[in-house]
């Protein structure tokens, strides 16, 4: 095994690992500061912040020969016997000078800069900069430039690391951003008439180590130090990207990609990034309500009386109503977690042992779109179709799709239906909903009003992605567990809690306990037993082995 010496510490690396000095130093617990280097982008070694001393140990004699000048750590690959010195006076002095040079052109408008608090320039200045300024610098206001529908460029805050430029060239493949002028007059810009408008554009804001690129959606909304973050999974499509939900006082402020080499690497798409606004939509359904169940009311056009039902009563009355109605059909939404889906199936079969179970509506928009950097946006706009299908297979309903359920109901084979939804936008039209018009009981659990919701005898609110806990299985059978980031609006029970109570289980809904039971009870889910790693597991791991 090759051995690299980092500040006197011997670090073993894999024989076929290709690492640079920054990555090896990180394994030794040493952070080499860097701006322009990013593991997902090409190396330019332009910021000079990662300059370090390196050398080579002679394998035969053990004698160390140092390179006489500093080298950029990002650009220097390591091999057996490489010696790295990250904290010598020479290195420290170099870092302080780089910081000083960057700050000469910087507006130092940290109080009004949205990046303050998570800014590398700020952090490195405190860690590696000089305690006093030698230049007579006055804070000034940065020029602002509109570079696209989602991003604002604060021209003077930029330190010209060109991460954003490389991102648009290498990952999104759209190359909107460029560097204009040269030397001290360098600026990031776009060509006239070609704004930064690709589907991954929000990532340049995450990449920016300083406050030069601002997310219009988040600009001025909140200071970053007020935000709390919860590791979560994006529910926007079946790719299931790992994200951080950043929130404060039960309000989501932004979503950020979470590094996950198995799923999304470092990126997320704009659709997912800005796909949380529906959580705070005023038109969400918040009360559990029950309508007089006689079909004649609906035929006459008169609105039957609805009564709001307490959640504790929903648990009892819903079961009674469905039991009285007779043959049950249940649509298990692909927005539900596998824990919720499993409990819902159990509830349904406990009400009607012959209940018809099927997958809920699967929204599909366009086609899968893969970018040059390998990132793929899936056409299937739901996070857990694979997981729900696996759960349904446990109940012998593996192949049933939403269309099968509609046909089943339209053929009059069911007296009651329970439709779980939870989609962020409109999903069903009147023509499809009409198939459900003549049921004795229709339970609809959704975020927003819909033609189907208007027919429902039981209207139940659903919860959004950040408000639920559980496990989603993405299109590649990769399962990721996550916890609840924010509480749902006051009075709304997450689906899991309702199903948990309807199963007669005591105490608070515990998604982890349900997941472990599920893993223990079925070979298809064995991979989910025990603690789940933050990056998730492949559901087929035992089948592959």
Interatomic CA distance for residues 46 and 44, integer angstroms: 5
Site for other proteins in 343-362 (CB under 8 A): none
Closest CA to 338 of 532, 544, 542: 532
Interatomic CA distance for residues 428 and 423, integer angstroms: 10
Q: Are strands 416-420 and 328-332 parallel, antiparallel or unpaired?
A: parallel
Structure tokens at 143: 């020029």
Distance of CA 382 to the CA centre of its chain: 13
Scanning 60-68, 217-225, 252-260, 348-356 for contacts with other proteins by CB under 8 A, the matching segment is 217-225
**Count of residues binding other proteins (CB under 8 A)?**
12
Question: Out of 223, 228, 280, 413, which residue is the one contacting other proteins (CB under 8 A)?
Answer: 223
Who contacts 101 (Cβ-Cβ below 8 Å, separation ≥6)?
A: none
Closest distance of CB 280 from other proteins, Å = 15
* Residue (92 or 141) nearer to other proteins, CB: 141
Q: Are strands 228-233 and 242-248 parallel, antiparallel or unpaired?
A: antiparallel
Query: How many other CB atoms are there within 10 angstroms of residue 533's CB atom?
Result: 11
Site for other proteins in 106-135 (CB under 8 A): 109, 111-112
Scanning 75-83, 140-148, 174-182, 185-193 for contacts with other proteins by CB under 8 A, the matching segment is 140-148
* Residue (109 or 170) nearer to other proteins, CB: 109
Contact 38, 49 (CB under 8 A): no
Q: Go through 419-441 and write b for each residue having 16 or more CB atoms within 10 A of its CB, e for each that does not.
A: bbbbbbeebbeeebbebbeebbb
Closest distance of CB 140 from other proteins, Å = 11
* Residue (126 or 220) nearer to other proteins, CB: 220
Interatomic CA distance for residues 480 and 137, integer angstroms: 49
Closest distance of CB 208 from other proteins, Å = 17
Cα atoms in the Cβ-side hemisphere of radius 13 Å centred on 130: 15
Closest distance of CB 128 from other proteins, Å = 23
Closest distance of CB 254 from other proteins, Å = 15
* Residue (62 or 126) nearer to other proteins, CB: 126
Closest distance of CB 106 from other proteins, Å = 15
Interatomic CA distance for residues 479 and 466, integer angstroms: 17
Query: According to the binding rule CB under 8 A, does residue 251 interact with other proteins?
Result: no
Closest distance of CB 296 from other proteins, Å = 51
* Residue (111 or 131) nearer to other proteins, CB: 111
Instruction: Please name the residue that has the structure tokens 């394994």.
Output: 27
Q: How far is CA 178 from CA 40, 47, 83, in A?
A: 19, 17, 37
Q: Are strands 51-57 and 187-190 parallel, antiparallel or unpaired?
A: unpaired
* Residue (216 or 349) nearer to other proteins, CB: 216
Query: According to the binding rule CB under 8 A, does residue 193 interact with other proteins?
Result: no
Structure tokens at 45: 């070694």
Structure tokens at 350: 């406990």
Query: According to the binding rule CB under 8 A, does residue 225 interact with other proteins?
Result: yes
Closest distance of CB 220 from other proteins, Å = 4
Question: Out of 10, 59, 181, 220, which residue is the one contacting other proteins (CB under 8 A)?
Answer: 220
* Residue (92 or 223) nearer to other proteins, CB: 223
Closest distance of CB 382 from other proteins, Å = 35
Contact 151, 214 (CB under 8 A): yes
Query: According to the binding rule CB under 8 A, does residue 150 interact with other proteins?
Result: no
* Residue (35 or 154) nearer to other proteins, CB: 154
Maximal C-alpha separation, the chain? 97
Question: Out of 64, 67, 104, 219, which residue is the one contacting other proteins (CB under 8 A)?
Answer: 219
Question: Out of 18, 79, 133, 141, which residue is the one contacting other proteins (CB under 8 A)?
Answer: 141
Question: Out of 92, 144, 228, 413, which residue is the one contacting other proteins (CB under 8 A)?
Answer: 144
Closest CA to 121 of 147, 100, 144, 94: 100
* Residue (219 or 316) nearer to other proteins, CB: 219
Interatomic CA distance for residues 293 and 416, integer angstroms: 11
Structure tokens at 210: 């300083």
* Residue (221 or 370) nearer to other proteins, CB: 221
Closest distance of CB 157 from other proteins, Å = 11
* Residue (152 or 512) nearer to other proteins, CB: 152
Closest distance of CB 111 from other proteins, Å = 4
Interacting residues with other proteins (CB under 8 A): 109, 111-112, 141-142, 144, 219-221, 223, 225-226
């Amino acid at each position: 095994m090759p051995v690299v010496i980092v500040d006197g510490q011997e670090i073993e690396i894999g024989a076929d690992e290709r690492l640079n000095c920054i990555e090896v130093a990180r394994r030794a617990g040493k952070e080499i500061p860097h701006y322009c280097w990013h593991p997902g982008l090409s190396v330019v070694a332009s910021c000079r912040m990662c300059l370090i001393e390196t050398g080579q140990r002679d394998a035969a004699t053990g004698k160390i020969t140092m390179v006489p000048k500093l080298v950029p750590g990002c650009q220097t690959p390591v091999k057996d016997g490489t010696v790295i010195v990250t904290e010598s006076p020479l290195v420290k002095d170099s870092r302080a000078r780089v910081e000083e040079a960057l700050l000469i052109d910087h507006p130092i408008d940290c109080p009004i800069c949205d990046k303050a608090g998570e800014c590398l320039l700020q952090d490195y200045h405190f860690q590696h900069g000089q305690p006093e300024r030698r230049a007579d610098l006055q804070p000034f206001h940065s020029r602002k430039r509109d570079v696209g529908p989602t991003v604002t460029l604060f021209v003077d805050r930029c330190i010209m690391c060109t991460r954003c430029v490389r991102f648009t060239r290498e990952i999104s493949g759209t190359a909107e951003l460029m560097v204009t002028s040269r030397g001290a007059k360098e600026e990031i810009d776009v060509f006239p008439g070609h704004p930064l408008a690709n589907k991954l554009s929000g990532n340049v804001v995450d990449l920016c180590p300083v406050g030069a690129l601002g997310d219009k959606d988040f600009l001025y909304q909140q200071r970053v130090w007020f935000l709390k973050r919860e590791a979560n999974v994006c529910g926007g499509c079946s790719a299931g990207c790992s994200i951080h939900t950043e929130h404060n006082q039960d309000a989501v402020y932004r979503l950020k990609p979470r590094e996950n080499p198995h799923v999304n690497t470092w990126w997320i798409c704009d659709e997912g990034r800005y796909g949380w606004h529906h959580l705070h939509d005023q038109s969400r359904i918040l009360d559990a309500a029950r309508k007089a169940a006689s079909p004649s009311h609906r035929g006459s056009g008169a609105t039957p009386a609805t009564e709001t039902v307490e959640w504790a009563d929903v648990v009892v009355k819903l079961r009674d109503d469905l039991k009285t109605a007779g043959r049950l059909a249940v649509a298990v939404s692909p927005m539900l977690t596998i824990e919720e889906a499993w409990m819902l199936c159990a509830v349904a079969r406990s009400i009607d042992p012959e209940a018809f179970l099927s997958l809920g509506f699967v929204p599909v928009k366009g086609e899968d779109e893969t970018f040059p950097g390998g990132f793929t946006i899936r056409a299937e706009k739901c996070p857990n179709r694979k997981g729900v299908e696996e759960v349904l297979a446990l109940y012998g309903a593996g192949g049933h799709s939403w269309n099968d359920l509609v046909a089943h109901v339209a053929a009059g084979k069911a007296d009651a239906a329970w439709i779980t939804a939870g989609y962020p936008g409109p999903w069903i039209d009147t023509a499809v909903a009409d198939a459900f018009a003549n049921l004795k009981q229709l339970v609809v659990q959704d975020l927003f009003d819909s033609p189907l919701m208007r027919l429902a005898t039981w209207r139940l609110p659903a919860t959004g992605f950040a408000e639920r806990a559980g496990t989603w299985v993405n299109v590649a059978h990769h399962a990721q567990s996550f916890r609840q980031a924010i509480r749902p609006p006051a009075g709304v029970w997450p689906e899991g809690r309702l199903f948990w109570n309807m199963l007669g289980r005591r105490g608070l809904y515990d998604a982890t306990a349900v997941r472990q039971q599920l893993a223990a009870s079925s070979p298809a889910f064995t991979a989910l037993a025990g603690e789940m790693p933050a990056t998730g597991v492949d559901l087929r791991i035992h089948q592959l082995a």
